[in-house]
Amino acid sequence: MRSLFTLALIPMITACMAPTGGSDRLELANMRPWNIVPASSAARLAGMFERVCLDGPAPPEAAARLLRSADYVEVPSRVPRAIRSFLVDDSRPAVMLAADGTACAVAAQARTGQTERIRGLVAQKYPAARALSPAGTGPTVDEGWSLGAGQGIVLLRRVIRPGRPSELIVIHQRDPGVEAGLAITRRPV
Contacts with 155 (C-beta within 8 Å, 6 or more apart), sequence order = 3, 132, 137, 141, 143, 144, 170, 171, 173
Please choose, from the candidates 145, 138, 147, 180, the residue with its C-alpha nearest in 3D space to the C-alpha of residue 6.
138
Report how far residue 74's alpha carbon sits from residue 86's, in angstroms, rounded to the nearest whole number.
Answer: 4
CB atoms under 10 Å from CB of 22, counted, come to 9
Distance CA(9)–CA(26), nearest Å, equals 18
Residue 124 vs residues 106, 121, 127, 140: alpha-carbon distances, Å: 19, 5, 6, 25
* Residue 20: predicted pLDDT: 44
pLDDT > 70? residue 33: no
Q: What is the mean pLDDT of residues 4-23?
A: 46
Determine the average pLDDT of the residues in 2-15: 42
pTM assigned to the model: 0.78
Supply the pLDDT for residue 163: 82
For the chain, the first-to-last Cα distance in angstroms comes to 20
Lowest mean pLDDT among 27-36, 93-102, 113-122, 142-151: 27-36
165 and 132 Cβ atoms separated by less than 8 Å: no
The answer to whether 169 touches 105, Cβ cutoff 8 Å, is yes
Could you read off the pLDDT of 108-162 as tens digits, one per residue?
A: 989 999 999 999 999 999 999 999 987 667 778 889 999 988 899 999 998 888 8
Q: Measured between alpha carbons, how far is 147 from 166 in angstroms, rounded to an integer?
A: 26
The predicted model gives 40-66 an average pLDDT of 95
pLDDT tens digits for range 161-183: 888 888 899 999 997 566 555 55
